[in-house]
Amino acid sequence: MKIRHSFMQLQARPRGCHLVTDEVVSRLPELSEAGDGLLFVFIMHTSASLTINENADRDVRTDFEMALNRLVPDSWPYVHTMEGPDDMPAHVKASLMGSSVTIPVATGRLVLGTWQGIYLCEHRDHGGSRRLSLTLMTSQ
């Protein structure tokens, strides 16, 4: 088994869900020769998250953001407010969505369904750039 680890920085994005599959794959040039294995993608932040979902219709990402805002509104009387009114709701959303995704790799390609992609879910109004840890475990 071979393990390769790297980091990548994603540019700052506005609040919402953003498709980042191509950016992740472009950071892994060795993927095409990797054989079979697993890719672990971990976000090193507590106010943004990662998930896998629909990659074709942009409306899905819009609806995800709407649903998250309905589940965890900014207007609740949060106690942790030192970093702004969007910070604590961002922490709750990140915990609900998750900080990592694991994707199978087969013959040097991510095994994602036809309509699946990796989302960066930015839960803050101005979250800044986000750092990802990428661990590729393969047979070659």
CA nearest neighbour of 121 among 81, 82, 68: 68
The rounded distance, in Å, linking the Cα atoms of 129 and 138 is 29
Q: What is the pLDDT of residue 102?
A: 98
Q: How confident is the model over 105-138, as pLDDT tens digits?
A: 999 999 999 999 999 999 999 999 999 999 999 9
* pLDDT of amino acid 91: 98
Q: Which amino acid is at 45?
A: H
pLDDT of residue 136: 97
pLDDT for residue 139 is more than 90: no
- The CATH number for 44's domain is 2.60.120.460
Strand ranges across the sheet with 48-54: 16-19, 116-122, 48-54
Instruction: Say how many domains are in the chain.
Output: 1
Q: Taking a C-beta distance cutoff of 8 angstroms, is the pair 94, 48 a contact?
A: yes
What's the pTM? 0.95
Name the β-bridge partners of 82. none
**Which domain covers residue 31, as residue numbers?**
2-138
